[in-house]
Structure 1
Amino acid sequence: MLGNFTYDNPTRLHFGPDALERLRDELPAFGPVVQLAYGGGSIKETGLYDQVVALLKECGKTVVDDGGVMPNPTAERLLEGRDRAREKGVDFILAVGGGSVADYAKAVSVSVHCDEDPWERYYLRFEEVECDVVPVGCVLTMAGTGSEMNGGAVITNRGQKLKIGHVFGPEAYPKFAILNPELTFTVPKRQMVAGVFDVVSHVMEQYFSGEDDNVSDYLMEGLMRSLVASSRAAVADPRDYEARSNIMWAATWALNTLVAMGKSTDWEVHMIGQAVGAYTDATHGMTLSAVSPAYYRLIAPYGLPKFARFARTVWGVEGDGCTDEELAETGIAALEAWAREIGCVMRLSELGVDEGMLDGIAEAVLPMEGGYHPLSRDEVVEVLRASL
């Protein structure tokens, strides 16, 4: 294990088919005016909206409706949500949806009492929160981002063609999260698969770094093996509760900072994927699946022992008589084949990217230093071109 660290996660989780009932226990701790954030309206079709509103009113809350949060929430939408919260004197924000809604809610929460433009302060200057924060809770309907148990909030500025995440401190973590795997049953297959790859990518971003014998790596290998098995089962039967519950639980633990303890971490794949998303508005998990094989082939020579271990431990490659180079390629090929098998997008051209966009996308990629090989701008273009 590397260095010194402190682990603390303030989010309380309620997991299982009856988890929504725990709202009755949580809501009395917060003020009377609740901003209810949700996406395009699917929660109304499933009846979840009515259930949540009934519970809010049962607990004496005034509901400020904030529907229509888009999959990649924008800086403009953030300002709308902030202004709505200010106008209504919101005491609490309840996010009902997937990671985008949770990200949006957290971004609003740190902006309500901020005197500056939140995009400028938090996403361009990466400054810390110095104002009061409106508390947030989460009812999760899609597994993938882990946003229900961390401080991350990704916002897109379409005018500037930038998609940037700010990882806020514990003050922005959801106070509680409701995780009922049954709520994910109605998520379309493409979205479910994109979420699964996002989870695996979160794990790989933390796994492919360091040379010590780190317990976090053993935890991550278990998470990846579980996700591979559960994703196959969920594709075969989207209502397989065991598979969907394992995916949901793995998604939470992949990015609640636990497995990052004692590790350096990479995150360059996410920076590339987010830059692609800023140009195309493509589904986040699919941008990651499209660029991951090329990226990992480029950096594998700089971390061969871990890539060889990845092939053996995650994909079950025996590798007798193989070199580390051969094992590394076999492991990356296995990752690529699995992603294709479950229905991920494997080429950027399928997401609307063409050769003329590559320089602009590369300019929008934030350089990261935690992985085996920090990329030059030319190498970012190389990854993008190889992913077309």
Structure 2
Amino acid sequence: MLGNFKYSNPTKLYFGEDALSNLKVELASYGTNVQLVYGGGSIKKNGIYEQVITILKECGKVIFEDSGVMPNPTVEKLAEGCQIAREHQVDLILAVGGGSVCDYAKAVSISAYCEDDPWEKYYIRFEDVTCKIIPVGCVLTMVGTGSEMNGGAVITNHKQKLKIGHVFGDNVFPKFSILNPKFTYSLPKYQMVAGCFDIMSHILEQYFSGEDDTTSDYIAEGLLRSLITSSKIAVKNPEDYEARSNIMWTATWALNTLIAMGKTTDWEVHMLGQAIGAHTDATHGMTLSAVSIPYYKYIMADGLQKFKRYAIHVWDVDPSGKTDEQIAREGLDRMETYMKELGLVMNLSELGVTEAMIEPIANSTLIMEGGYRILNHEDIVNILTNSL
């Protein structure tokens, strides 16, 4: 492995069927006022809300509900959450939901006492946190983002047509996260498979960079193989505990910063997907699936040896009698077949993108420099066009 790095991860995880029982232990470390953050109300239908409320009341907490967090949290919603946090001087923000809810909770935690405009400070100028941070805890009900064990927080500004993620340091990581695979059973198939591809994309964004032999890449290949196996099982039987637990654990390790160690990392697929999301409000994982195959085919020649390795190590492509390009392309073909088998969105038109929207989306796409090819505006337009 080349380069130097520092690694730490301060989030404490509780995993398994009895994970929620540990919430009482964690709540004892925080003050009375709790801001309970959740989305559209699915946690009330599946009973998780009642379980959490009961524990909070048993621990003597005063609850301030912050519901209605949308799949792509907006700057307007962020302002609402900050107002709740300040007015009630909350001691803990408890996020109960998926990645968007966890992202939003972290954004509120660093923005409530920010003296500047949080959007400008964190998402335009990408500055560090200099104000009081409210601690965050998570009860996960949907997997994909890895937000339960990282410092990432993605916010959408519809007026500016921008969806931007800022990855903050250890001080913004959730203090604890509770992961019960059974809490993901009631998720609709569309959301489940979108989450599975978000996991895959997180791994690939870190995998397709660098040329040296790294332990991180071997771990990434193992995570990918586990995800592929378990996602196929979960699509057929959503209540297969072993498959859902493997998916949940893989999602966490895909983006808790471990496999980025010693890597440059790419993230251009996410920049494309987030730009699409800013214009369409489409489900995040599906924006990624729609552009991934066109993007990887576009840059394959620039990272040919890694794409060859990917084909052999992850997709079991037999290299006998084939050129490096043929091997690499067969790997992407097998990936595409798998994606279709899962029921993922494979083109942007399914998300409502038209040819007339390509240029505006391209204008909203940030350029990253860590992958095998640094794109220009024309490249982005070509990839988006190929994704239609």
Q: Secondary structure at the match of 2:166?
A: strand
Distance 1:208 1:291 in 2: 15
Q: For residue 324 of structure 2, what is the amino acid of its counterpart?
A: D
Distance 2:163 2:352 in 1: 17
Distance 1:43 1:80 in 2: 21
Are residue 231 (structure 1) and residue 250 (structure 2) matched? no
Offset at residue 57 of structure 1 (A): 1.1
Offset at residue 28 of structure 1 (A): 0.7
Cα deviation code 1:114-140 (max 9, x no counterpart): 111111110111111000100000000
Map 1:71-150 → 2, pairs under 5 A: 71-150=71-150
Q: For residue 54 of structure 1, what is the amino acid of its counterpart?
A: T
Offset at residue 59 of structure 1 (A): 1.0
Q: 2:3 matched to which residue of 1?
A: 3
Q: 2:366 matched to which residue of 1?
A: 366
Distance 2:99 2:374 in 1: 28
Cα deviation code 1:256-314 (max 9, x no counterpart): 00000011100000000000000000000000000000000011101101000100010
Q: Secondary structure at the match of 1:274?
A: helix
Distance 1:387 1:278 in 2: 17
Q: 2:268 matched to which residue of 1?
A: 268
Offset at residue 112 of structure 1 (A): 1.1
- Count of residues paired in the alignment: 388
Q: For residue 138 of structure 2, what is the amino acid of its counterpart?
A: C
Offset at residue 184 of structure 1 (A): 0.3
Offset at residue 210 of structure 1 (A): 0.8
Offset at residue 6 of structure 1 (A): 1.0
Q: Secondary structure at the match of 1:29?
A: coil
- Aligned-residue RMSD, C-alpha: 0.5
Q: 1:286 matched to which residue of 2?
A: 286
Q: For residue 272 of structure 1, what is the amino acid of its counterpart?
A: L
What 5-or-longer segments of structure 2 have no aligned partner? none
More deviation, 271-280/325-334: 325-334
Q: Secondary structure at the match of 2:314?
A: helix
Distance 1:217 1:225 in 2: 12
Q: 2:152 matched to which residue of 1?
A: 152
Q: For residue 18 of structure 1, what is the amino acid of its counterpart?
A: D
Distance 2:377 2:384 in 1: 11
Map 1:34-53 → 2, pairs under 5 A: 34-53=34-53
Q: Secondary structure at the match of 1:217?
A: helix
Q: For residue 340 of structure 1, what is the amino acid of its counterpart?
A: K
Q: Secondary structure at the match of 1:230?
A: helix
Q: 1:25 matched to which residue of 2?
A: 25
Map 1:216-365 → 2, pairs under 5 A: 216-365=216-365
Q: 1:66 matched to which residue of 2?
A: 66
Distance 1:123 1:335 in 2: 33
Q: For residue 50 of structure 1, what is the amino acid of its counterpart?
A: E
Distance 2:213 2:121 in 1: 39
Cα deviation code 1:14-71 (max 9, x no counterpart): 0000000000110010111000000000001111111101111111110000111001
What 5-or-longer segments of structure 1 have no aligned partner? none
Q: TM-score, normalised by structure 1?
A: 0.99
Map 1:188-227 → 2, pairs under 5 A: 188-227=188-227
Q: For residue 57 of structure 2, what is the amino acid of its counterpart?
A: K
Offset at residue 321 of structure 1 (A): 1.1
Distance 2:332 2:212 in 1: 22
Q: Secondary structure at the match of 2:154?
A: strand
Q: 2:186 matched to which residue of 1?
A: 186
Q: For residue 288 of structure 1, what is the amino acid of its counterpart?
A: L
Offset at residue 142 of structure 1 (A): 0.5
Offset at residue 209 of structure 1 (A): 0.7
Cα deviation code 1:60-108 (max 9, x no counterpart): 1100001110010001000010011111111110000000000000000
